[in-house]
Amino acid sequence: MTPDQVRGMLYGLAVGDALGVPYEFKGRGTFHCDGMAGHGTHNRPAGTWSDDTAMTLATLHSLIEDDWNVDPSDLLARYRNWLEAGAYTPDGEVFDCGLTCASAIRSGRGSTGERSQGNGSLMRIAPLAIRHQSDEAIRAASAVTHAHPHVMDMCVRQVRLLERLANGWTPDPDPRPEDAIRSGGFVDETADAALWCLADTGSYRDCVLAAVNLGSDTDTTACVAGAMAGIRYGYGAIPAEWLKALRGAPMIEALADAAVQGL
Protein backbone atom coordinates (compact mmCIF):
# COMPACT_ATOMS: atom_id res chain seq x y z
CA MET A 1 0.00 0.00 0.00
CA THR A 2 1.29 3.49 -0.80
CA PRO A 3 1.42 6.18 1.91
CA ASP A 4 -1.49 7.96 0.19
CA GLN A 5 -3.54 4.76 0.20
CA VAL A 6 -2.81 4.21 3.91
CA ARG A 7 -3.92 7.75 4.75
CA GLY A 8 -6.92 7.48 2.43
CA MET A 9 -7.97 4.22 4.07
CA LEU A 10 -7.57 5.43 7.68
CA TYR A 11 -9.22 8.82 7.21
CA GLY A 12 -11.73 7.26 4.83
CA LEU A 13 -12.97 4.78 7.41
CA ALA A 14 -13.02 7.33 10.25
CA VAL A 15 -14.98 9.87 8.18
CA GLY A 16 -17.44 7.16 7.08
CA ASP A 17 -17.93 6.07 10.70
CA ALA A 18 -18.47 9.68 11.85
CA LEU A 19 -20.96 10.35 9.04
CA GLY A 20 -22.98 7.31 10.12
CA VAL A 21 -22.96 7.80 13.91
CA PRO A 22 -25.98 10.17 14.10
CA TYR A 23 -28.14 7.70 12.13
CA GLU A 24 -27.17 4.33 13.64
CA PHE A 25 -30.19 2.00 14.03
CA LYS A 26 -32.43 4.32 11.95
CA GLY A 27 -34.46 2.66 9.22
CA ARG A 28 -33.77 3.18 5.54
CA GLY A 29 -35.79 6.06 4.12
CA THR A 30 -36.46 7.64 7.53
CA PHE A 31 -33.56 10.12 7.20
CA HIS A 32 -31.24 11.54 4.56
CA CYS A 33 -27.53 12.05 5.19
CA ASP A 34 -25.75 14.51 2.91
CA GLY A 35 -22.86 15.54 5.16
CA MET A 36 -21.34 15.61 8.63
CA ALA A 37 -24.10 16.08 11.20
CA GLY A 38 -24.16 16.10 14.98
CA HIS A 39 -26.39 14.60 17.69
CA GLY A 40 -29.01 12.07 16.53
CA THR A 41 -28.79 8.50 17.83
CA HIS A 42 -25.86 8.93 20.23
CA ASN A 43 -26.17 12.72 20.81
CA ARG A 44 -22.53 13.39 19.86
CA PRO A 45 -21.04 16.51 18.25
CA ALA A 46 -20.55 16.34 14.46
CA GLY A 47 -17.40 14.50 13.42
CA THR A 48 -17.34 12.05 16.35
CA TRP A 49 -16.23 8.55 15.40
CA SER A 50 -17.35 5.41 17.27
CA ASP A 51 -16.15 1.93 18.24
CA ASP A 52 -15.37 1.02 14.63
CA THR A 53 -12.61 3.61 14.29
CA ALA A 54 -11.46 3.29 17.92
CA MET A 55 -10.90 -0.47 17.56
CA THR A 56 -9.25 0.05 14.16
CA LEU A 57 -6.80 2.54 15.69
CA ALA A 58 -6.13 0.14 18.57
CA THR A 59 -5.40 -2.62 16.04
CA LEU A 60 -3.11 -0.34 14.05
CA HIS A 61 -1.27 0.81 17.17
CA SER A 62 -0.65 -2.80 18.19
CA LEU A 63 0.73 -3.68 14.74
CA ILE A 64 3.04 -0.65 14.74
CA GLU A 65 4.35 -1.37 18.24
CA ASP A 66 4.88 -5.06 17.51
CA ASP A 67 6.71 -4.72 14.18
CA TRP A 68 3.55 -5.68 12.19
CA ASN A 69 3.02 -8.99 13.95
CA VAL A 70 -0.48 -9.91 15.14
CA ASP A 71 -0.30 -10.44 18.91
CA PRO A 72 -3.79 -11.36 20.18
CA SER A 73 -2.94 -10.65 23.82
CA ASP A 74 -1.69 -7.16 22.94
CA LEU A 75 -4.81 -6.55 20.82
CA LEU A 76 -7.02 -7.63 23.72
CA ALA A 77 -5.15 -5.33 26.12
CA ARG A 78 -5.63 -2.36 23.79
CA TYR A 79 -9.33 -3.14 23.21
CA ARG A 80 -9.73 -3.31 27.00
CA ASN A 81 -8.00 0.04 27.35
CA TRP A 82 -10.51 1.42 24.86
CA LEU A 83 -13.60 -0.13 26.46
CA GLU A 84 -12.64 0.53 30.09
CA ALA A 85 -10.57 3.73 29.87
CA GLY A 86 -11.74 5.41 26.65
CA ALA A 87 -8.42 5.15 24.81
CA TYR A 88 -8.56 5.80 21.04
CA THR A 89 -11.65 8.00 21.33
CA PRO A 90 -12.10 11.74 20.67
CA ASP A 91 -13.60 12.37 24.16
CA GLY A 92 -12.31 9.58 26.37
CA GLU A 93 -15.83 8.16 26.33
CA VAL A 94 -17.18 4.91 24.86
CA PHE A 95 -20.79 5.28 23.70
CA ASP A 96 -21.14 2.39 21.28
CA CYS A 97 -19.99 -1.20 21.73
CA GLY A 98 -21.46 -4.37 20.23
CA LEU A 99 -22.48 -7.15 22.63
CA THR A 100 -20.07 -9.72 21.22
CA CYS A 101 -17.13 -7.33 21.49
CA ALA A 102 -18.06 -6.26 25.02
CA SER A 103 -18.40 -9.77 26.41
CA ALA A 104 -15.26 -11.03 24.64
CA ILE A 105 -13.16 -8.09 25.83
CA ARG A 106 -14.38 -8.53 29.41
CA SER A 107 -13.95 -12.32 29.46
CA GLY A 108 -10.83 -12.49 27.28
CA ARG A 109 -12.47 -15.13 25.07
CA GLY A 110 -13.69 -14.58 21.52
CA SER A 111 -17.15 -15.95 20.82
CA THR A 112 -17.69 -18.98 18.58
CA GLY A 113 -21.49 -18.99 18.95
CA GLU A 114 -23.77 -19.24 15.93
CA ARG A 115 -25.33 -15.95 17.00
CA SER A 116 -21.96 -14.21 17.13
CA GLN A 117 -21.56 -13.62 13.40
CA GLY A 118 -21.68 -9.84 13.64
CA ASN A 119 -19.48 -7.25 11.97
CA GLY A 120 -17.49 -6.35 15.10
CA SER A 121 -14.19 -7.73 13.85
CA LEU A 122 -14.74 -6.91 10.15
CA MET A 123 -15.03 -3.24 11.11
CA ARG A 124 -11.55 -3.05 12.64
CA ILE A 125 -9.29 -5.20 10.43
CA ALA A 126 -8.35 -2.71 7.68
CA PRO A 127 -4.83 -2.09 9.14
CA LEU A 128 -4.03 -5.75 8.41
CA ALA A 129 -3.98 -4.82 4.70
CA ILE A 130 -1.17 -2.26 5.09
CA ARG A 131 1.52 -4.94 5.12
CA HIS A 132 1.02 -8.56 4.12
CA GLN A 133 -0.48 -10.78 6.82
CA SER A 134 -1.10 -14.52 6.59
CA ASP A 135 -4.65 -15.89 6.60
CA GLU A 136 -3.84 -17.37 10.00
CA ALA A 137 -2.80 -13.98 11.42
CA ILE A 138 -6.00 -12.32 10.13
CA ARG A 139 -8.11 -15.09 11.68
CA ALA A 140 -6.26 -14.66 14.99
CA ALA A 141 -6.93 -10.91 14.95
CA SER A 142 -10.67 -11.53 14.44
CA ALA A 143 -10.77 -14.28 17.07
CA VAL A 144 -9.89 -11.87 19.88
CA THR A 145 -13.62 -11.08 19.85
CA HIS A 146 -15.16 -13.00 16.91
CA ALA A 147 -13.87 -16.58 16.69
CA HIS A 148 -16.69 -18.07 14.60
CA PRO A 149 -15.03 -19.68 11.54
CA HIS A 150 -17.28 -17.84 9.08
CA VAL A 151 -16.52 -14.43 10.59
CA MET A 152 -12.79 -15.17 10.52
CA ASP A 153 -13.09 -16.21 6.84
CA MET A 154 -14.93 -12.99 6.05
CA CYS A 155 -12.13 -10.96 7.66
CA VAL A 156 -9.56 -12.75 5.47
CA ARG A 157 -11.70 -12.04 2.42
CA GLN A 158 -12.04 -8.36 3.32
CA VAL A 159 -8.30 -7.87 3.89
CA ARG A 160 -7.58 -9.49 0.52
CA LEU A 161 -10.17 -7.16 -1.11
CA LEU A 162 -8.40 -4.13 0.39
CA GLU A 163 -5.08 -5.42 -0.94
CA ARG A 164 -6.56 -5.89 -4.41
CA LEU A 165 -7.96 -2.34 -4.34
CA ALA A 166 -4.50 -1.06 -3.40
CA ASN A 167 -3.16 -2.89 -6.46
CA GLY A 168 -5.58 -1.08 -8.75
CA TRP A 169 -8.43 -3.57 -8.94
CA THR A 170 -11.87 -2.12 -9.72
CA PRO A 171 -15.02 -4.02 -8.72
CA ASP A 172 -17.54 -4.89 -11.46
CA PRO A 173 -20.78 -2.88 -11.41
CA ASP A 174 -23.40 -4.53 -9.19
CA PRO A 175 -26.84 -4.18 -10.80
CA ARG A 176 -28.86 -5.22 -7.73
CA PRO A 177 -31.38 -2.56 -6.60
CA GLU A 178 -31.06 -1.01 -3.14
CA ASP A 179 -34.01 -3.11 -1.97
CA ALA A 180 -31.86 -6.23 -2.40
CA ILE A 181 -29.13 -4.93 -0.07
CA ARG A 182 -29.30 -5.59 3.67
CA SER A 183 -27.43 -3.27 6.03
CA GLY A 184 -27.80 -4.74 9.51
CA GLY A 185 -25.09 -5.88 11.89
CA PHE A 186 -24.28 -9.30 10.44
CA VAL A 187 -20.85 -9.70 8.91
CA ASP A 188 -22.20 -10.89 5.55
CA GLU A 189 -24.56 -7.93 5.29
CA THR A 190 -21.87 -5.36 6.04
CA ALA A 191 -19.30 -6.83 3.66
CA ASP A 192 -21.88 -7.12 0.87
CA ALA A 193 -23.44 -3.69 1.40
CA ALA A 194 -20.06 -1.92 1.55
CA LEU A 195 -18.88 -3.55 -1.68
CA TRP A 196 -22.19 -2.73 -3.38
CA CYS A 197 -21.73 0.93 -2.42
CA LEU A 198 -18.18 0.94 -3.79
CA ALA A 199 -19.14 -0.83 -7.03
CA ASP A 200 -22.07 1.42 -7.88
CA THR A 201 -20.64 4.87 -7.11
CA GLY A 202 -17.82 6.88 -8.65
CA SER A 203 -16.36 8.89 -5.78
CA TYR A 204 -15.44 8.64 -2.11
CA ARG A 205 -18.27 11.03 -1.22
CA ASP A 206 -20.99 9.14 -3.08
CA CYS A 207 -19.78 5.78 -1.76
CA VAL A 208 -19.93 6.65 1.94
CA LEU A 209 -23.18 8.62 1.63
CA ALA A 210 -24.77 5.62 -0.11
CA ALA A 211 -23.57 3.43 2.77
CA VAL A 212 -25.01 5.68 5.50
CA ASN A 213 -28.29 6.09 3.64
CA LEU A 214 -28.82 2.32 3.61
CA GLY A 215 -29.80 2.78 7.26
CA SER A 216 -29.54 0.37 10.21
CA ASP A 217 -25.82 -0.22 10.96
CA THR A 218 -24.96 3.06 9.24
CA ASP A 219 -21.62 3.78 10.90
CA THR A 220 -20.14 0.32 10.39
CA THR A 221 -21.33 -0.02 6.77
CA ALA A 222 -19.86 3.42 6.01
CA CYS A 223 -16.66 2.63 7.92
CA VAL A 224 -16.06 -0.54 5.88
CA ALA A 225 -17.08 1.19 2.64
CA GLY A 226 -14.98 4.23 3.56
CA ALA A 227 -11.82 2.14 3.99
CA MET A 228 -12.30 0.70 0.49
CA ALA A 229 -13.17 4.03 -1.12
CA GLY A 230 -10.28 5.72 0.67
CA ILE A 231 -7.84 3.29 -0.93
CA ARG A 232 -9.49 3.46 -4.33
CA TYR A 233 -9.76 7.24 -4.63
CA GLY A 234 -6.96 8.33 -2.24
CA TYR A 235 -6.76 10.77 0.65
CA GLY A 236 -7.23 13.79 -1.63
CA ALA A 237 -10.69 12.58 -2.66
CA ILE A 238 -12.11 12.85 0.87
CA PRO A 239 -14.09 16.12 1.04
CA ALA A 240 -12.03 18.75 2.88
CA GLU A 241 -15.02 19.94 4.91
CA TRP A 242 -15.48 16.43 6.30
CA LEU A 243 -11.81 16.12 7.22
CA LYS A 244 -12.01 19.52 8.91
CA ALA A 245 -15.05 18.41 10.92
CA LEU A 246 -13.48 15.10 11.98
CA ARG A 247 -12.78 15.15 15.72
CA GLY A 248 -9.66 13.59 17.24
CA ALA A 249 -7.78 13.88 13.94
CA PRO A 250 -4.32 14.32 15.58
CA MET A 251 -4.63 10.77 16.94
CA ILE A 252 -5.27 9.42 13.43
CA GLU A 253 -2.49 11.58 12.01
CA ALA A 254 0.09 10.29 14.51
CA LEU A 255 -0.77 6.65 13.81
CA ALA A 256 -0.95 7.21 10.04
CA ASP A 257 2.51 8.82 10.16
CA ALA A 258 3.91 5.90 12.13
CA ALA A 259 2.24 3.40 9.77
CA VAL A 260 3.77 4.84 6.61
CA GLN A 261 7.32 4.99 8.04
CA GLY A 262 9.42 2.70 5.92
CA LEU A 263 6.61 1.49 3.66
* Exposure letters 123-133 (e unless 16+ CB within 10 A, then b): bbbbbbbbeeb
| Candidate ranges 6-14, 32-40, 138-146, 213-221; the one touching Mg ion (CB under 5 A) | 213-221
Q: Is 56 in the site for Mg ion (CB under 5 A)?
A: no
Q: What angle do CA 169, 171, 176 make, to 5 degrees?
A: 180
**Chain residue at closest Cβ approach to Mg ion:** 50
**3-state per-residue secondary structure call for 166-223:** HCCCCCCCCCCCHHHCCCCCEHHHHHHHHHHHHHCCCCHHHHHHHHHHCCCCHHHHHH
Smallest gap from Cβ 221 to Mg ion, in A, equals: 10
CB of 211 to Mg ion, least distance (A): 13
Taking CB under 5 A as the binding criterion, the range among 69-77, 91-99, 226-234, 240-248 that sits at the site for Mg ion is 91-99
Rule CB under 5 A: is residue 217 a binding residue for Mg ion?
no
Task: Please answer whether residues 45 and 93 qualify as being in contact, where contact means their C-beta atoms are separated by less than 8 angstroms.
Answer: no
Shortest distance in whole angstroms from residue 86 CB to Mg ion: 15
Name which position in 51, 71, 74, 192 contacts Mg ion (CB under 5 A). Answer: 51
Q: Report the candidate in 191, 179, 41 with the shortest Cα–Cα distance to residue 33.
A: 41
- CB of 81: closest distance to Mg ion in angstroms? 18
Out of 8, 19, 94, 96, name the contact with Mg ion by CB under 5 A: 96
Nearest of 85, 63, 57 to residue 223 by alpha carbon: 57
Q: What is the separation of C-alpha 17 from the centre of its chain, rounded to a whole number of angstroms?
A: 7
Q: Which is nearer to Mg ion, 137 or 251 (CB)?
A: 251
Amino acid at 64: I
Minimum distance from residue 61 beta carbon to Mg ion (Å): 18
163 binds Mg ion (CB under 5 A): no
Q: In this structure, how many other beta carbons lie within 10 angstroms of the beta carbon of residue 39?
A: 12
Work out whether 192 is an interface residue with Mg ion (CB under 5 A): no
Q: Where do contacts with Mg ion occur on this chain (CB under 5 A)?
A: 50-52, 96, 219
Binding residues for Mg(2+): 50-52, 217, 219-220
